[in-house]
Amino acid sequence: MTTASEFVQAFVGRFPVLRPDYDDHVEDMGELLPHVIFGIGEGFTDRIVNAYLQEDDSLDWRSVLEFFDEYFDRGDRDVDEVLVTSFLDMLPWPNQPGHGLVDQLPKRLRSRLDLLRPAA
């Protein structure tokens, strides 16, 4: 079983461009808070959307989605909660910049997003 903290640490290990954000977060919060580092303004989710919009070319958003797909729905409830509530649910809605990223989600992530937003 992978914990949410282990998942975030593996994510930062795979995408070292995010290390300064991770270090700042831990310093500011005093500990790693996986949902916060992903979902609260200028978090990892925003960085991923900005990479998709080509505003942050230091982060390979396609590889990020592949990484998430590897970890999603493996029976690690804490990891899935971070990915669903602090990544998928934070993605742009239709008519918002970056919404096209939704169409790039791997099948399982897209299916879960469609359950969250059935009318979108």
Stated pTM of the model: 0.93
Cα 41 from chain centre: 12
Burial bucket for residue 64 (CB in 10 Å: 0-12, 13-18, 19+): buried
Residue 78 lies in domain:
4-116
Number of domains in the chain: 1
Question: Which residue in the block uniquely carries the two structure tokens 């009318």?
Answer: 119
Q: What are phi and psi of 87, to 5 degrees?
A: -120, -70
Q: Residue 120's pLDDT is what?
A: 63
99, 12, 25: which is closest to 64 by C-alpha?
12
Per-residue pLDDT of the chain (120 residues; tens, 9 = 90+): 899 999 999 999 999 999 999 999 999 999 999 999 998 777 999 999 999 999 878 999 999 999 999 999 999 999 999 999 999 999 999 999 999 999 999 999 999 999 999 876
What are 8's two structure tokens? Answer: 């975030």
Nearest Cα residue to 72 out of 31, 106, 118: 106
CA distance 80 to 109: 10
